[in-house]
Copies of this chain bind each other. A is one copy, B any other.
Amino acid sequence: MKITKPRGTRDFLPEDMENRRYVENIIRDVVTKWGYSEIMTPTFEHLDLFTLKSGDAIVGEIYNFTDKGNREMALRPELTAPVMRMYVNEMQATPKPLKLFYFENCFRYERPQKGRYREFWQFGVELIGSRQADADAEVIALAMSILNALDIDGKLNVGHLGIIRYILKELDIEQQSQIMRYVDKKDDMGLDDYLDNINAPADLRRNLFELIGISGEDAIIKAKEITGSIPELEAFRKIIELLDAYEIKYTIDFGIARGLDYYTGMVFEIYAKDLGAQNQICGGGSYQLIQLFGGGDVPSTGFGIGFDRIMEVCRKKTEKPASVMVICTEKTRLEAIETTMELRKIMPAHIDLMKRNFKAQLSHANNIGTDFTLIIGERELQAGKVTLKDMKSGNQETLTLKEAIAKLNEY
């Protein structure tokens, strides 16, 4: 009976995994140098956690199930809610700010399509406990620093929800949310109709369209002409000043709405110049979830990077370490095992496991692409020698084992 993998999921072959681990390690190195620490949460959570954060509508896109104890569970669709839950349960007493990162898989039930999978990987950062511009700027700079380390050309858009919310402050929460959704989709027609529907005041309508149309160098000045001096704009100005200190290039866009109601202030999105339509690879901002989850009034800022999309654009490939296969006969096998064990102290080393003859062993070494073979024939063994063969050039020389190891150690 032939069984397939579940639709929309993937098996990763060795060459996939090598590249994925390589890229993962580059990211780990960057965040560690920025002083962030890894945490890990369970793969499934109580369904409540995600509906509390995102509303009941999210259930339609979630892998949820009733466990054998009759509890409603969900495979996590994202990691911000689990990290905030973990913070509330276990880390409230830790010195602030907490600088955390995660690298985990997430799940969503949706129609499988190119580049979208039902199980996918997210790398992300959550900086908990600071409401300063410094925190917002650091998080953005860290995201850009990761992409930089991966040689990915990322285009950064930064905005601030406080400014658009200031313009909408006369409307009720439901109207604000609805407008944010149109803004997020860049659906100007839909937005226009909706504003008609709710009889939005003319100046609100004018200010809103002006604000989301702002771009270029003097974006903050233009915004100030609309809103006047408000604290949100001053906070945003400080973030921008810090981004300059980090030498980060950005585009200001007050039309970023992120489509998620729990963002409170700065929001940003990074697009990969090399990807097609679905070219957002990172998104984040500052948000407030901890109170909702039963903790104190603690602000946080974070981002998520879609690791699978990163793997599509990242041209960095791992360089395999040089490897060797020890070739032996039945009579030299025990010595060959000993030699293989010596070699495994310094490099990946294979030995025949199929009772193949000499020629078939060499052919296998060629098939699996080892860089060297180290041949232990019967005559060689008697003379206390081995033959080291460079599989690329075909060159070979007869050496003592010690000499051969010294030679291999240079690679």
Contact = CB atoms under 8 A, between A and B. Distances in A.
Contact of A293 (B2, B105, B294, B364): B2
Interface stretch (A168-176, A181-189, A339-347): A339-347
Interface string A280-300: 000000000000111000000
A236 B283 CA distance: 58
A1 B13 CA distance: 43
28 contacts: A1-B293, A3-B52, A3-B85, A4-B85, A5-B41, A5-B86, A6-B67, A12-B41, A13-B39, A14-B38, A17-B40, A33-B348, A33-B349, A34-B348, A42-B119, A43-B75, A43-B107, A60-B68, A65-B66, A95-B364, A95-B367, A97-B354, A130-B354, A132-B353, A132-B355, A134-B354, A135-B353, A245-B333
A249 interface: no
Given A34-B344, A135-B353, 15 more contacts: A2-B88, A3-B293, A6-B42, A6-B46, A14-B39, A16-B40, A17-B39, A33-B347, A34-B349, A43-B43, A43-B75, A95-B368, A134-B355, A138-B353, A242-B337
A109 interface: yes
A35 B372 CA distance: 13
Contacts of A294: 1-3
Nearest to A102: B17
Given A6-B42, A119-B42, A13 B242 contact: no
Contacts of A9: 42, 44
A11 B39 contact: yes
Contacts of A21: 38
A386 interface: no
Nearest to A129: B354
A27 interface: no
Interface in A162-201: none
A1 to B, nearest CB: 6
Nearest to A91: B13
Nearest to A15: B37
A360 to B, nearest CB: 11
A37 B69 CA distance: 38
Contacts of A334: 242, 245
Contact of A109 (B49, B67, B86, B134): B67
A96 interface: yes
A42 B11 contact: yes
Contacts of A14: 37-39, 100
Contacts of A35: 323, 348-350
A89 interface: yes
Nearest to A52: B1
B85 A5 contact: yes
A23 interface: no
Question: Which of A3, A5, A66, A355 has the most chain B CB atoms inside 10 A of its CB?
Answer: A3
A352 interface: yes
Given A17-B38, A119-B43, A132 B354 contact: yes
A41 B11 contact: yes
Closest 4 CB pairs of A and B: A65-B65, A2-B294, A14-B37, A9-B42
Contacts of A367: 95
Nearest to A98: B14
